[in-house]
Amino acid sequence: MIQDPLTHERQPLVPETAPASENDETEPTLEQRAAELRTLLESRNVPISELGAEMGKTLVRRLVFLHIQSDLSPSRIVEEVQSMVRFYNKFFEGSTREQFHQGFFGEFAVAYALQEQLGYPVYYSTTEEDMEGKVDFLVDLEDGQPLVAVQIKSVYLRGDMDCVVYKPGVDLDSLPNELEVHISDRVHSTSEQLTAYCEEHSFRPMVIVIPSPDSDIPLYNLQTGLPVERGVGGKDKTELANRIWQGLDEKGFVTWD
């Protein structure tokens, strides 16, 4: 073949053939690695649901670190959260995924709204409080009263729901009908545990029910794990915090005396 003397040995803008990779093996994707590890664990009879509960708690702390304690850039945080979402979505595929996913993102979003947007100190529950009382975390309303033991329920919801704060044993029985269909059994059994535990240990029980990210009007998102921002032409950027505040006020958790 005759070479063009003007272009001979010059590097074209677009290579005519793709360069051979240094290594013929392509790296498996996040999802492939997650699936591979799950297959291995299942073959060794490791209960995936047990890992889901533990990893959920760990990832709440990871989100707290990313959004509250670290000085990482917003884009780096989103990258990290998305990596977590992709990997663990695949790893906990199936019924465990919903439980896992909604659990840790919902818990973090509420803790963030309470502390970072409403200004109340939030504390992790102990293992005993978590296991026996189904307490997700505790919040100090700084009124000299006992700590509030909070249980979060993140549920798929069509339409909107103004009320997010409930007092178990008082008004959880009056959940909106549509919500009742989705969560009645799950909420009532664990809220009874919460109420009994709080009576015994002098906490104030509170259940916060929030629409999950796949709901019509979600209050937190899966891009960042943070409460939603609807600053443009809609509601303000602290929608979740506003609703919690409204609930605390209406349900008598805060008073003006």
Partner 1 sequence: MGLTRVSISTSQNTLAPISERDAEKILNQLKEGERPEVEQLLQLLEYVRIHPEFRITDNE
What is the per-residue binding string for partner 1 in 76-115, x denoting contact by CB under 8 A? -------xx--xx--x-------------------x---x
Contact 148, 133 (CB under 8 A): no
Is 136 within 8 Å of 105 (Cβ atoms)?
no
Residues 203-232 that bind partner 1 (CB under 8 A): none
Which of 49, 50, 173, 178 forms a contact with partner 1 (CB under 8 A)? Answer: 50
DSSP labels for 98-159? HHHHHHHHHHHHHHHIIIIIS---EEEPPHHHHHHH---EEE--SSSSPPEEEEEEEE--SS
Taking CB under 8 A as the rule, does residue 30 contact partner 1? yes
Per CB under 8 A, does 58 bind partner 1? yes
Which residue(s) pair with 206 in the sheet? Answer: 150
State in angstroms the smallest separation of the CB of 207 from partner 1.
Answer: 19
Provide, for the chain, the percentages of residues in helix, strand and coil under a 3-state DSSP scheme, each rounded to the nearest 5: 50, 10, 40
* Residue with Cβ nearer partner 1 (16 or 25): 25
How many residues touch partner 1 (CB under 8 A)?
37
Distance, in Å, from the CA atom of 248 to the CA atom of 218, rounded to the nearest integer, reads 20
Residue 68 binds partner 1 (CB under 8 A) = yes
Residues 195, 205: contact at Cβ < 8 Å? yes
Q: Minimum distance from CB of 65 to partner 1 (Å)?
A: 5
Rule CB under 8 A: is residue 27 a binding residue for partner 1? yes
Task: Give the nearest distance from C-beta 16 to partner 1 in angstroms.
Answer: 29
46 binds partner 1, rule: CB under 8 A? yes
Interatomic CA distance for residues 178 and 155, integer angstroms: 11
What 3-state class would DSSP assign to 14?
coil
> Of these, 110, 118, 138, 207, which contacts partner 1 (CB under 8 A)?
138
Identify the residue among 76, 94, 95, 123 touching partner 1 (CB under 8 A).
Answer: 123
Residue 123 tokens, joined = 């504390």
Residue 220 CB, nearest approach to partner 1 (Å): 16
Q: Where are the beta strands (DSSP E) in the chain?
A: 122-124, 137-139, 148-155, 165-166, 204-211
Among 33, 204, 237, 251, binds partner 1 (CB under 8 A): 33
Rounded CA separation 157/214 (Å): 8
Q: Of the candidates 74, 94, 121, 159, which one interacts with partner 1 according to CB under 8 A?
A: 121
Q: Which residues bind partner 1 (CB under 8 A)?
A: 25, 27-28, 30, 33-34, 36-37, 40-41, 44, 46, 50-51, 54-55, 58, 61-62, 64-65, 68-69, 83-84, 87-88, 91, 111, 115, 121-124, 126, 137-138
